[in-house]
Structure 1
Amino acid sequence: MVRQILPISALLLGSAFLLFAGGINALILPVRGSSEGFSAFALGLLGTGWALGYVSGCLATPGIVARVGHIRAFSVMATFAAISILASLILVSPASWIIFRGLAGFCFAGAAMIVESWLGERAEPSTRGRIFGLYTMVNLVATTAGQMTLTLGDPTGYLFFVLAAMFYCLSLVPTALTTTVTPKPLVSVRLDLPALWRNSPVAVFAVFMVGLSNAAFGTLAPVYGERVGLVLTTIALFASVPILAGALAQIPVGLLSDRMDRRKVLLGVAVLAVSADLAFLVFQPEGRAANLALSALLGAAIFAMYPVIVAHANDHAAPNTHIQVSGGLLLVFGLGSIVGPLLAGWGMSAIGTRALFATTIAAHGLIIAFTLLRLSQRAKVAAEDKTAFMVQPVLRASTPQTAELGLPGEDDTPEAPANEDHAPETQRSAPEGADLLAG
């Protein structure tokens, strides 16, 4: 395995620096903004700005790379991400921060797509799964470390803004110096909602709601923690523990979903999420232990939903269209991520802090209701027609390149045969560089 890791070590190191800076960036803005007196609505708009930028980056980066190449494009993304966090230190206002957060989201998506395309090119079919797992682990550790760094100093100063900018800049060094061969062009994506809906209504509806709830919680959890009186160390844990719990939960949830109707697994996980939402609303915990325990329960549920949804959609996908389906679901997830922080932020400003969990319980309740409806209307997929469950990164919205990198190699799993529930036969694999959902 060491022989396979060495050629991609520079890419993994660059990704680690990028995610470390991203972890700081994602936490310092809501914590500092709350201490500056920004409203919850304004802080929610930071998440909306990030999601808008991230989706735009997924759409625009393939064209940028085609024009100037991978290394130059990555350098531009890392540079502007550093500029965005430094500019946030100079211009301390909600309007400025929303714009800068959108710029960071755009750059983050672009940089991630470039690294992932390189990894996908270097990974051999027999080692693709291990490379993808290692990449996911590196991202998890780096983001958590970045968030926990905030416990080491004063968030009202300039230290963490400068530190994040430094690591954004450091992320371009390994890729600039690597001798790895430049990969093929990035996959391109456009959204075709009718084709996605025909493939799997449950997947489209649920992934939108998961994007809504996950982005609302991910953006405003630090604000909730600060307003219920948690100290900074606990706030950092409150943001990090759900991610770790979600990563661990994917293993048993994935095993279960491979053995039974994935919609029933999604239903069970959504019930677990609603239970955690209700506990926050009813018991209104104020202490460290209770908040961390409930955040772990909520994270285990909400961050395990996305891979179940992607796997369910791919069960119904026509042969050779899995990247198209996963890429389309990513964009629907991004649309939900735009709406979620906006709704939760408005609710927290108008009603109170725990409106955050009123927003998430509404999203999870709607997933339960719609899934129950679809269970009565469509038969489950036969066991032999199922695709293999694939663990997904829980740190951020994935990119279309993540979907390609996460596909099993030629030697790993057989291609799933078509069945009567598959998408129409006109939805075929896009040629290299073509639109993902042209069907």
Structure 2
Amino acid sequence: MASVIKIYALFLGSALLMFGGGLQGLLLSVRGAEENFSLLALGLIGTGWSVGFVAGSLFVPLIVRKAGHIRAFSVMAAIGTITILLNLLWINDVSWIVLRALSGFCFAGAAMIVESWLNEVADNKSRGTIFSIYVTINMAASTLGQIAMSITGTAGYVPFVIGAISFICAVLPTALTSSPQPRPLQSAKLDLKLLYKTSPVAVIAAFSCGMANGAFGTLAPVYGYEQGLDASGIALLFAIAAILGAIAQVPFGRLSDRIDRRLVMIGLSGFAAVVGALTAIINPEAGWGMYVLFAAYGFAANPIYAVAVAHANDFARDGDFAKIAGGMLLIMGLGLAIGPAVASMIMGAWHPVGLFVVTATFHGALAGTAYLRMRVRKSVDVAGRTPFQPVSDKQATPESFVLDPRADSDDDEFPVHREQSVPDELIETAERDQNVQDKPV
């Protein structure tokens, strides 16, 4: 019973963290547009978040080793709270870019610490269930945070204060937990040579998802604002895209367990490219057409990264999952950092709808690459694959992949709790050898 309470307390802490993060991310994009920030500045705000998040994934484990998990988490939550309040006090583009990077750093660190605690109480039998619940809670809480903006609006201080309250409340479950300190955090490992050798299409998929979804997540609220949507309409627009994207992960993931995963990537990325192209051509005004296109985009684009991780894992050697997943995480982070800046310049030069030219281009490139790779390399037999697991393309940290049940055979440096089965023949051979050694010479 105690372990169950600890798990749900950590789930609550993570949910509060994601609620504040979902609200803050959407709020800054829309409020920045209302404050007449340039498109480049709005894009760099998204870039700042991604740079800070990747930096946090790399350096927070060093902080935790010196300060401990509870104190480090408290520091991250406190700085995250201060950051969103400073967003309210310093409303200018340069400040928001810097503060967004700091927010990304703290958010990555806090999420990694929660995940390491969950991994500590998970065993081989419960790991898959805990991981699935954790991912579902994160997606739901982030979406609720975005929906909350439809209630709070973007004017005044209320949405910033609500976000700050959510961040600081996230510290309570970990501060009150009676569980022992978790094992050291896992730093992201970048081995580009190994990752590319294992799966070239996974490298392209990680970068393309980062470019397209990073641009969409940062600048689509600005596009909605330019098309005449109010805060409530923009929140609903993103909620629909996020909900359909979360729902799509499971059926397409299960489908990828049965057929060549690259076929699934071709279908999803090709459909996302078509949706992006249609949006760029039609340039819909505020109304049902925009909601349909955004819903279709979320449905197609959100599952791609998780399928790509599963595809790379199919070809990975035992013990390489964390390196492969960590490398993909950092490559995606590179795309998340570059995508908003590139899209903002295209939107400024052409029109806000130029955002969807960027998403269509990178999704189309991924579909073409996956098709060409199918002609070069055969897929892994269904019997030799590890089952698909949902993964968020914007919230994953290195600790997320340690918690992932597919990491059970990984790295002896941070062994995962698991039971190993030994063939009967080996046991009999060992017993005979021991009997021989015990006999007097």
Q: Normalising to structure 1: TM-score of the pair?
A: 0.91
Give 1:139 deviation, angstroms: 1.2
Residue 236 (str. 1) matches residue 235 (str. 2):
yes
Residue 294 (str. 1) matches residue 293 (str. 2):
yes
What is the rounded CA distance, in whole Å, between the counterparts of 2:214 and 2:324 in structure 1?
21
Indicate if the aligned counterparts of 1:126 and 1:409 stay in contact, CA closer than 8 A.
no
What is the rounded CA distance, in whole Å, between the counterparts of 1:122 and 1:153 in structure 2?
37
Residue 407 (str. 1) matches residue 405 (str. 2):
yes
List, as ranges, runs of 4+ consecutive aligned residues in structure 1 with deviation greater than 6 Å.
none
Give 1:164 deviation, angstroms: 0.8
Q: Larger C-alpha radius of gyration, 1 or 2?
A: 2
Indicate if the aligned counterparts of 2:321 and 2:407 stay in contact, CA closer than 8 A.
no
Give 1:332 deviation, angstroms: 0.6
Number of the residue aligned with 2:418: none
Number of the residue aligned with 2:220: 221
Helix, strand or coil: the match of 1:354? helix
What is the rounded CA distance, in whole Å, between the counterparts of 2:236 and 2:2 in structure 1?
35
In the alignment, structure 1 segments of 5+ residues that lack a partner are 416-427, 434-439
Indicate if the aligned counterparts of 1:211 and 1:340 stay in contact, CA closer than 8 A.
yes
Matches within 5 A, 1:326-405: 326-394=325-393, 396-405=394-403
Give 1:99 deviation, angstroms: 0.3
What is the rounded CA distance, in whole Å, between the counterparts of 2:14 and 2:215 in structure 1?
25
Give 1:328 deviation, angstroms: 1.1
CA deviations 1:280-331 (Å, max 9, x no partner) are: 1122211331111111110111111011100000001001211221111111
Give 1:143 deviation, angstroms: 1.1
Number of the residue aligned with 1:151: 150
Report which stretch shifted further, 172-181 or 376-385.
Answer: 376-385
Number of the residue aligned with 1:248: 247
What is the rounded CA distance, in whole Å, between the counterparts of 2:213 and 2:262 in structure 1?
19
Indicate if the aligned counterparts of 1:128 and 1:409 stay in contact, CA closer than 8 A.
no
Indicate if the aligned counterparts of 2:191 and 2:324 stay in contact, CA closer than 8 A.
no
Number of the residue aligned with 1:29: 28
Matches within 5 A, 1:6-85: 6-85=5-84
Indicate if the aligned counterparts of 1:334 and 1:397 stay in contact, CA closer than 8 A.
no
Indicate if the aligned counterparts of 2:201 and 2:370 stay in contact, CA closer than 8 A.
yes
Indicate if the aligned counterparts of 2:386 and 2:406 stay in contact, CA closer than 8 A.
no
> What is the Cα-based RMSD across aligned positions, in Å?
1.6
Give 1:74 deviation, angstroms: 0.4
Indicate if the aligned counterparts of 1:125 and 1:408 stay in contact, CA closer than 8 A.
no
Give 1:128 deviation, angstroms: 1.3
Indicate if the aligned counterparts of 1:243 and 1:299 stay in contact, CA closer than 8 A.
yes
What is the rounded CA distance, in whole Å, between the counterparts of 1:403 and 1:198 in structure 2?
20
Indicate if the aligned counterparts of 2:401 and 2:407 stay in contact, CA closer than 8 A.
no
What is the rounded CA distance, in whole Å, between the counterparts of 1:94 and 1:80 in structure 2?
20
Helix, strand or coil: the match of 2:303? helix
CA deviations 1:383-439 (Å, max 9, x no partner) are: 222121111135x230011011122586xxxx7xxxxxxxxxxxx836239xxxxxx
Q: Normalising to structure 2: TM-score of the pair?
A: 0.91
Matches within 5 A, 1:168-207: 168-207=167-206
What is the rounded CA distance, in whole Å, between the counterparts of 1:310 and 1:129 in structure 2?
16
What is the rounded CA distance, in whole Å, between the counterparts of 2:6 and 2:243 in structure 1?
28
Query: Aligned partner of 2:216: which letter?
Result: F
Give 1:4 deviation, angstroms: 5.8
Indicate if the aligned counterparts of 2:224 and 2:286 stay in contact, CA closer than 8 A.
no
Give me the identity figure in percent: 43
Matches within 5 A, 1:238-317: 238-317=237-316
Indicate if the aligned counterparts of 2:153 and 2:232 stay in contact, CA closer than 8 A.
no
Match of 1:431 among 413, 418, 427: 413
Helix, strand or coil: the match of 2:352? coil
In the alignment, structure 2 segments of 5+ residues that lack a partner are 416-441
What is the rounded CA distance, in whole Å, between the counterparts of 2:53 and 2:65 in structure 1?
19
Indicate if the aligned counterparts of 1:324 and 1:429 stay in contact, CA closer than 8 A.
no
Report which stretch shifted further, 226-235 or 51-60.
Answer: 226-235
What is the rounded CA distance, in whole Å, between the counterparts of 2:402 and 2:325 in structure 1?
9
Helix, strand or coil: the match of 2:57? helix
What is the rounded CA distance, in whole Å, between the counterparts of 2:24 and 2:78 in structure 1?
14
CA deviations 1:227-252 (Å, max 9, x no partner) are: 00112211001122211111110111
Helix, strand or coil: the match of 2:185? coil
What is the rounded CA distance, in whole Å, between the counterparts of 2:133 and 2:245 in structure 1?
17
Number of the residue aligned with 2:113: 114
CA separation of 1:321 and 1:28: change in aligned 2, threshold 3 A:
same
Query: Aligned partner of 1:401: which letter?
Result: E
Number of the residue aligned with 1:437: none
What is the rounded CA distance, in whole Å, between the counterparts of 1:314 and 1:71 in structure 2?
33
CA deviations 1:219-276 (Å, max 9, x no partner) are: 1111010000112211001122211111110111111101111111100111110121
Indicate if the aligned counterparts of 2:124 and 2:405 stay in contact, CA closer than 8 A.
no
Give 1:195 deviation, angstroms: 1.4
Number of the residue aligned with 1:89: 88
